[in-house]
Amino acid sequence: MANYVFLGPPGAGKGTMSEMLAERDGHVHVSTGDILRAEMKADTDLGQQARSYIDAGHLVPDEVVAAIVTKALDTDEVRTRGFILDGYPRTVPQAKRLDATLDAVKLQLDRVVLFEVGQELLIKRLTGRRICRECGAVYHVCFTPPKQADVCDKCGGSLYQRSDDSPETVRERLRVYHEQTEPLIAYYESRGLLLRVPGHQRKHAGFAVLCEHLHL
C-alpha cells in the first residue's frame, strides 16, 4: 500500500480527501490537527500546551507534533495498511525529522500530494465551515448547509465553528502557510515526490480528480 503526505494550505481539502481515500483503500489517516483537537477536548497536558498556538493560528512546536507523529506511524497497522499524513509536515525541519523517523521505522514515503486552491476560495471554505459537536460531521453554510441551521442532519447534534476558523485566525493561518509550509513544495519537488492536484472542486468531483492523478 502506498504511503502519502497530503500538503496544501488550510481549507484545501486535505482532511476530506484523506478520509475518503482512507475509507476506500484502508490507509491509516494521521491528522496532526485532529489529534491535537482531541487532546484539547480531553483537556490533557498536551492539549493545554497546544491550545494557545492553535487559537492564534500559529504552529505548535516541532517537538510536540513530531512525538505525536512518531507514535502514530510506528504501528503494525500502518505497516500493513499504509498511511496518509494530513497536516504534517508543515515546516522544512519537520520534513527532515519525518525522513529520519520513516528511516527508523522502516517505512517509505511514496508521494506528496499538493492540493492547489486559490486564496479567495480557501477563506470562504474555512470561515463557512461548521462541525457537529457530537459526531464530527462537517458542513458549510453555503456549500453543504444542514437542513436546519446549526443542527446536524445525521445525529441532531449542535454545530459549532472551529475556534481557528474565525476570519482573523484564518488570515494568520494562511500567512503562516505561505511563510513556513510553502518551502516544502521545493523540498519535495527536488526529491521527485511532488504531485500537484487541483483542489477547487466540491467533495466528490475533487476525489475523482485526486484518484485520476494518482492513477487509482
- The residue range among 41-49, 53-61, 184-192, 203-211 that interacts with ligand AMP, by the rule CB under 6 A, is 53-61
Catalytic residue among 111, 162, 196, 203: 162
Q: Which of 173, 184, 188, 199 binds ligand AMP (CB under 6 A)?
A: 173
Residues composing the chain: 216
- Tell whether residue 112 is a contact of ligand AMP (CB under 6 A): no
- In the complex, minimum distance from the CB of residue 77 to ligand AMP, in angstroms, rounded to a whole number: 21
The verdict on whether 173 is a catalytic residue reads yes
Among candidate residues 37, 90, 125, 130, the one labeled active-site is: 90
Give the nearest distance from C-beta 148 to ligand AMP in angstroms.
26
Q: Which of 21, 34, 13 is nearest to 140 (CA)?
A: 13
Contact between 59 and ligand AMP (CB under 6 A)?
yes
Which residues make beta-bridge pairs with 19?
A: none
Active-site entry in 14, 97, 125, 130? 14
Cell 504531485 appears where?
Answer: 195
Binding of residue 36 to ligand AMP (CB under 6 A): yes
Which parts of the chain fold into alpha helices (H)? Answer: 14-25, 32-41, 45-56, 62-73, 76-81, 92-104, 119-127, 167-176, 183-189, 203-214
Q: Is 29 helix (H, G, I), strand (E, B) or coil?
A: strand
When asked if residue 129 is in the footprint of ligand AMP (CB under 6 A), the reply is: no
Strands 138-140 and 129-132, bridge-based pairing = antiparallel
Comparing CA positions, the residue from 103, 84, 82, 115 lying closest to residue 181 is: 115
- The answer to the question of residue 88 lying near ligand AMP (CB under 6 A) is yes
Residues near ligand AMP (CB under 6 A): 10, 32-33, 36, 53-54, 57-60, 65, 87-90, 94, 164, 173
